[in-house]
Amino acid sequence: MNIVNLASHEQPPMDLLLLADPSPKLVEEYIQRGQCYVAKAEELILGVYVLLPTRPETVEIVNIAVDERHQGQGIGKKLVNHAIETARQLGYKTIEIGTGNSSIGQLALYQKCGFRMTWIDRDFFIRHYEEPIYENGMQVIDMVRLSQDL
Ligand code: ACO
Ligand code: ACO
């Protein structure tokens, strides 16, 4: 499996991006401004992440997803670590990520990759999404913000 920057003529894998973020509008908006990286095995896209510069010297993983048939096999961890290394090589000083209050597995993964919690964006998912979202038996309401120095 290789992780590569998606070429400008290639279509981003919308089906995967929508697994991480149910809003096509938000996804369309940030893939225009960010860089999309994909995990490929024999031309099949197994995973994706999007890096978006947000503030001076700061970049955010705004979307990360692995094909459902290939989750739990270490691909997500490889993508997160690749994003961290890419951000470092591009000269950024801080990398950030945010996820829902209910995203227990994601919070575990990001902390295992060195992210620390910084703050809570309260009511983020109420303000930015029209439909209520549920996960692990909980409503997704707040965004947990995490970061790490590079
Ligand atoms: N407790 C402890 N550790 C956990 C838990 C838990 N409940 N759940 C997961 N983990 C750990 C696993 O044990 C593993 O760590 P390990 O290697 O030390 O055992 C790690 O988290 C998950 O590892 P991977 O197998 O690499 O993860 P996967 O390939 O399944 O990718 C991902 C993770 C991207 C979150 C995938 O499940 C996915 O696509 N989910 C749907 C989309 C999504 O939610 N994306 C993130 C939204 S937030 C955002 O995009 C910024
Ligand atoms: N994802 C989603 N839901 C989960 C998860 C998970 N990974 N883990 C637990 N839950 C949910 C369960 O599904 C259940 O909810 P549900 O009824 O909607 O299904 C709920 O959390 C747990 O319910 P109980 O069975 O009532 O919990 P339990 O009797 O096991 O008590 C406690 C929980 C007190 C945390 C117990 O496990 C314990 O004593 N742990 C060790 C001590 C400890 O950690 N205490 C808390 C420290 S913080 C403090 O003291 C302030």
Q: What is the pLDDT of residues 104-140, one digit of tens each?
A: 999 999 999 999 999 999 999 999 988 999 999 999 9
**Ligand 2 centroid, distance to 137 Cα (angstroms):** 13
Q: Is the pLDDT of residue 22 over 90?
A: no
For the chain, domains (ranges, CATH) are 2-149 (3.40.630.30)
Which ligand is located closest to the Cα atom of residue 97?
1
**Nearest atom in ligand 1 to 103's CA:** 44
pLDDT at position 43, please? 87
Coil vs helix vs strand at 88: helix
pLDDT at position 44, please? 94
Q: Is the pLDDT of residue 141 over 90?
A: yes
Distance, CA of 118 to CA of 82 (rounded, Å): 22
Model ipTM over 0.90: yes
φ, ψ dihedrals at 33, nearest 5° = -95, -20
Q: Which of 104, 138, 139 to mutate to test the pocket of ligand 2 (most atoms within 8 A of CB)?
A: 104
Question: What's the pLDDT band for 142 if we cut at 50, 70, 90?
Answer: very high
Distance, CA of 27 to CA of 63 (rounded, Å): 8
**Ligand 1 centroid, distance to 90 Cα (angstroms):** 25
- Looking only at Cα atoms, what is the longest distance across the chain? 42
pLDDT at position 66, please? 98
Write out the H or E segment, with its range, that includes residue 100. strand 94-100
Distance, CA of 122 to CA of 142 (rounded, Å): 5
Instruction: Give the relative orientation of helices 104-112 and 75-89 as an angle to the nearest 10 degrees.
Output: 50
Q: What is the pLDDT of residues 52-107, one digit of tens each?
A: 999 999 999 999 999 999 999 999 999 999 999 999 999 999 999 999 999 999 99
